[in-house]
Structure 1
Amino acid sequence: MKKISTFENKKVLVLGLAKSGASAARVLSDLGAIVTVNDGKELGENKEAQDLLENGIRVISGGHPVELLDEDFSLMVKNPGIPYENPMVVKAMEKDIPVITEVELAYLISEADIIGITGTNGKTTTTTLIADILNEGGLSAKLSGNIGFPASEVAEKATENDTLVMELSSFQLMGIEKFRPEIAVITNIFSAHLDYHGNQQNYEAAKWRIQENMKDSDFLVINFNQEKLRKLSEETKAQVIPFSTLEKVDGAYALDGKIYFRDEYILDVDSLSLPGEHNVENALAAIAVAKLKGVSNQSIINILTTFSGVKHRLQYLGDIEGVKFYNDSKATNILATQKALSGFENNKLWLLAGGLDRGNGFDDLIPDIENLKGMIVFGETAPKLKEIAEKLNITVLESENVGTAARLAFDNAELGEVILLSPANASWDQYPNFEIRGDVFIQEFNKLKEEI
């Protein structure tokens, strides 16, 4: 960690805890700041706050008293999920107190180079692929950011021999000032988080901030399948490295079933371990970064042909008696399930779907599930899903939950077929979150494997 004096004896307010807030508070305290943490949770149910108190850091919990801003703070470090309309944030900005997110702090203290990855879809898979490939190639890559490892905590421990591979959300990027990655990746931009950003234009502007401090010695890896990103790429100072599945570009591309980087053949598309067109795009982005970092083709191939996916995101679990299992519990909406389905042959696929009923229908799924081998439905939306399956004359079976659905699918599946959990619904009718839902599926897979 760079021992910067920027925050020494400065009063800093950390607004909102969770992992990133707690990490920022500790780092700032280590840098000599006079830290106050404010979190809405009551102290008794707030372990992070209790830990900070034990380390001598001031904590005000159980609410957000706006009058706290009357103290002479030099900086606010805001939890990314807290909107800018929050009264505490509004007052800070009225008083001209800079408001940053924790990734800005990570940048300021990092001795390591930073590779930043953002986009609407594919961020986590691409981030993980890049880190795995760099490590396979002998570099020391550290996952950080929105992927679950607080950026400032990782940056604090990283050395100049490391590389931080940092997943970045639009929320985090809104709170940067000097943040500058050596390589930035934009996987794609679709419509998302409009409740937070207000409109699509604001959302896209937040994503585009990833490159705003980059110089002509830096690289921007960007999806040329999207016209809007192609046009935006004309506005950056960084060197643009495009990737595309539609045409040959001066970067990474797929052509006639083969993947190239600047005319150099890397591997066949069919060799990729993750199914789906979207995962070809993710692989191309990762290849571009790896080649920029000097990683060998063999290291790239080793990872891309064996990568089993990020947990709960089209994660390949393995096969039992020739039947393959994929865990895509993260698919909490129809669009995510449509993307998952695009990677498989429907006539060999058993889809496990269902969950919380939010009042929507599933007609949008109809083109994507035609000719499915079968569906196993569960949860509150089981009747709705069963109805559209029956319209298409798809074999459909109802099951109690994800665990029983996995077993029922396996009982009906044949050699060479695939069982895919991609629910198209939130989990909250039966499970606290999609992770626990996915874990139940994994546990049932493991049980079945032991029984055979």
Structure 2
Amino acid sequence: MRLVILGAGESGIGTAILGKKKGYDVFVSDFGKIKGNYKEVLIINEIAWEEEKHTKDLILNADVVMKSPGIPDKSPIVKKLLAKGIPVLSEIEFAAPFTDATIIGITGSNGKTTTTMLTYHLLKSAGLNVGLGGNIGKSFAWQVADNKYDSYVLELSSFQLDGILKFKPHIAIITNISPDHLDRYDYKYENYIASKFRITMNQTEEDYLIYDANDEAITEWFKTHTTKAKLIPFSLTKTFSEGAYIKNNKMEISINQEEFTMDTEHIALEGKHNMKNAMAATSVAKLMQIRKSTIRESLSNFQGVEHRLEKVLKIQNVQYINDSKATNVNASFFALDSMNTPTVWIVGGVDKGNDYNELMSLVREKVKAIICLGVDNKKIIDAFGNVVDMMVEVDNMNDAVRMAQRLTEKGDTVLLSPACASFDLFENYEDRGNQFKQAVKNL
């Protein structure tokens, strides 16, 4: 069996290792340059590879192809493979049959990383033998090749779900759905929503789907579709006999005739959106039979995720917050919503078809100045130019942070929450967040 892998990033290299171990004839092809450390792994494992090209004759003879989530279906080589009827899978689809571990799959436009990390923290703190993978950390396929975990917590992007056929998690979570990556879905929101719901398409009556019962896109989907999975909703406003909700500042969860309650003030994560993430993760912990005392302790000591509403420093009584992971409007909505002081907002980058209107009331209420940090800031200026007193354009992080310091008074907050991708000025959102943190430390 010939396994061809397109893209030699974390998921590609992991799949190559697993494929080789399972007796496939493996070939790795990357249209860009392969990083040195990954190249070494390929050479040590005697796996054939090429870089800066896709040689058709070496690819179109595949029995099965795993493509990196970053490569769109519209790319010429993928089109040729699909035209020949060669299956093109995601890493998740390829690796899942080689493990009998319990899989918890988490997707959503926002909150999925926090929910994934918190779920992993809850299970690991309880002493479970659990792996963390998917869109985060070490490749799932690589872990399946090298480790013997009893459970996996996987963060799944819509691109990874697009490449599944039979994959099914025992427990699935959809944190929420809001417009994102529409450039990859022909600018049709319904295509993106359908992509997220692929997480439950193979689930059976034995499986569970945990979801936000207040989310408009999710609620609409349920009006015309069904899943066989047992439904566990969570909500900030509704109550359920089976599900999770917040009532009188208490998180209450009822699953399989078992109750769990905890005062929200003892939960380490702050903000309404994080209460939702906590309800989703705790629902998994309940399904996995984790003791109540362990759940309470884990929820109260969880550190949060880097680059997601991360408090950096307080300088002259001004709080600097790094929310570089907010790469879409909905994520910035949650960030602005959680601000309790006058805010200088650093925003901008590569726009993925953003509609800034939904932020208008929050900007009016909370934002005193906007610093545009992007190559093209026209949409942001058009949207908010008349709404805030001060609007400044900069093209590097040091200028953004110095300007923010000038515009603040005691008691204010400086929030980096870009609502955009980072590729115009930075390598990725981590690089953007790290540059922000360094610039703040240099003040």
TM-score (norm 1): 0.83
Deviation at 1:94, TM superposition (A): 3.3
Deviation at 1:394, TM superposition (A): 4.6
Distance 2:182 2:366 in 1: 33
Q: Does 1:135 align with 2:135?
A: no
| Residue number in structure 2 paired with 1:423 | 418
Distance 1:365 1:222, change over 3 A: closer
Distance 1:227 1:335 in 2: 13
- Listed one character per residue, the Cα deviations across residues 296-350 of structure 1 (whole Å, up to 9, x for unaligned) are 33333334334343111222346567654421012344443222101122xx133
Question: Quick check: 1:77–1:102 contact (8 Å CA) kept in 2?
Answer: yes
- How many residue pairs match? The answer is 433
From 33, 38, 41, the equivalent of 2:29 is: 38
Greater shift, 290-299 or 247-256, is seen at 290-299
From 338, 350, 355, the equivalent of 2:343 is: 350
Distance 1:376 1:70 in 2: 50
| Residue number in structure 2 paired with 1:179 | 167
| Residue number in structure 1 paired with 2:369 | 375
Distance 1:89 1:393 in 2: 46
Distance 1:394 1:48, change over 3 A: same
Distance 1:271 1:322 in 2: 25
Give 1:413-452 correspondences, 5 Å limit: 413-414=409-410, 417-427=412-422, 430-446=425-441
Distance 1:213 1:390 in 2: 48
Give the 3-state SS of the residue equivalent to 2:46 in structure 1. Answer: coil
Distance 2:319 2:268 in 1: 13
Q: Which amino acid aligns with 1:251?
A: G
Deviation at 1:81, TM superposition (A): 2.2
Distance 1:91 1:363, change over 3 A: closer
Distance 1:86 1:119 in 2: 25
Q: Does 1:251 align with 2:223?
A: no
Distance 1:429 1:81 in 2: 17
Distance 1:335 1:176, change over 3 A: closer
Question: Quick check: 2:2–2:26 contact (8 Å CA) kept in 1?
Answer: yes
From 299, 312, 324, the equivalent of 2:294 is: 299
| Residue number in structure 2 paired with 1:108 | 97
Give the 3-state SS of the residue equivalent to 1:337 in structure 2. Answer: helix
Q: Does 1:316 align with 2:306?
A: no
Greater shift, 359-368 or 228-237, is seen at 359-368
- Listed one character per residue, the Cα deviations across residues 41-61 of structure 1 (whole Å, up to 9, x for unaligned) are 257x76634641453212233
Distance 2:300 2:400 in 1: 29
Question: Quick check: 1:427–1:434 contact (8 Å CA) kept in 2?
Answer: yes
RMSD of the alignment, in Å? 3.3
- Listed one character per residue, the Cα deviations across residues 420-452 of structure 1 (whole Å, up to 9, x for unaligned) are 22234554564333322211232345556xxxx
Give 1:262-281 correspondences, 5 Å limit: 262=254, 264=259, 266-281=261-276
Question: Quick check: 2:347–2:419 contact (8 Å CA) kept in 1?
Answer: yes
Distance 1:366 1:90, change over 3 A: closer
Give 1:16-415 correspondences, 5 Å limit: 16-41=7-32, 48-49=38-39, 51-71=41-61, 73-160=62-149, 162-198=150-186, 199-226=188-215, 228-230=217-219, 232=222, 235-249=226-240, 250-262=242-254, 264=259, 266-317=261-312, 319=314, 323-345=318-340, 348-356=341-349, 365-372=359-366, 374-375=368-369, 377=371, 379=373, 391-392=386-387, 394=389, 401-403=396-398, 405-406=400-401, 412-414=408-410
Q: Is there any run of 5+ residues in structure 1 with no aligned partner, and where? A: 1-9
Question: Quick check: 1:211–1:238 contact (8 Å CA) kept in 2?
Answer: yes
Distance 1:32 1:320, change over 3 A: same
Is the radius of gyration larger for structure 1 or structure 2?
A: 1
* Identity within the alignment, %: 36
Distance 1:374 1:69, change over 3 A: closer
Give the 3-state SS of the residue equivalent to 2:366 in structure 1. Answer: coil
Deviation at 1:373, TM superposition (A): 6.7
Distance 1:410 1:141 in 2: 43
Deviation at 1:414, TM superposition (A): 2.8
- Listed one character per residue, the Cα deviations across residues 358-392 of structure 1 (whole Å, up to 9, x for unaligned) are 69896664421224374362545789878987845
Question: Quick check: 1:66–1:87 contact (8 Å CA) kept in 2?
Answer: no
- Listed one character per residue, the Cα deviations across residues 214-257 of structure 1 (whole Å, up to 9, x for unaligned) are 22222111221135534539722221111111200211111233
- Listed one character per residue, the Cα deviations across residues 92-115 of structure 1 (whole Å, up to 9, x for unaligned) are 333332221111222122242211
